[in-house]
Amino acid sequence: MYSIRFQVSAMLVLLAGLIIFLPEGRRSYGELNVPGMLEAMEDDGRYLSVDQVARMVVYEDTTILLVDVRDRAAYRTAHIPGAINIPVAEILNPDWSGYLNDPARSPVFYSNGNTFAGEAWMLCTQKGYEKSIIMLGGMNEWYRVVMESTFTGDRISAAENALFEVRYRARDFFTRMNSMPDSLKTAFLEVKRQREAELIGGCE
């Protein structure tokens, strides 16, 4: 059975091949730099696991920007907290370039699986946005690993306990955020940040 990473790499190579053979009039996003793209595809740093993303969400890592590339209806149904919605068909719209080419943050693309996230990565990398990343497995993997995982052993190590704690917190955050109307989500995030700041600061 092929790994998710291998499947995504194979899909990206296929996409690169398709782009190369597009008629000139269809290459609205510029010329493909084949050696540069092949080099980028060899970099394992272009991937994050859902566990890595879950940790970044829980601790509100400001070095990434989660980008949901599904359609707007899917995004409204449920999305990872903090993610913005840029459907893959709009990835090359200049209005989004400030988000996708921000030197301070890496865009992390996800869709339901890997196909559309891989396409978004391909287009942005070809465009020269060097920090793009793919969340492997997309929302399907998020639900399997974060939302549905349970511990079934008799004993749990410290590392396993830390992993499941992050998953539980990410699951709780995801569930609460997606159960709220949009008008309350911003206020909820602000209260969450204030409480965590108080916990970090401690009592004085």
pLDDT of residue 153: 73
Q: Order of strands, edge to edge, in the sheet holding 64-68?
A: 47-48, 133-135, 106-110, 64-68, 84-85
Query: Who contacts 131 (Cβ-Cβ below 8 Å, separation ≥6)?
Result: 103, 105, 106, 107
pTM value?
A: 0.75
pLDDT of residue 4: 59
Both tokens of residue 100?
A: 């996708």
pLDDT of residue 23: 44
CA 50 to CA 144: how far, in whole Å? 10
pLDDT in tens, 28-40: 444 445 555 556 5
What is the Cβ-side half-sphere exposure of residue 119, based on CA atoms within 13 angstroms? 17
Q: What are the helix (H) ranges across 21-129?
A: 34-41, 50-58, 72-77, 97-100, 115-127
Taking 50 as the pLDDT cut, the residues of the chain under it are: 1-2, 18-32, 203-204
pLDDT of residue 32: 45
pLDDT of residue 34: 57
pLDDT of residue 102: 94
Which domains are assigned to the chain? 1-204 (3.40.250.10)
The total of other beta-carbon atoms located within 10 Å of residue 139's CB is 21
pLDDT of residue 182: 72
Enclosing H/E stretch for 30: none
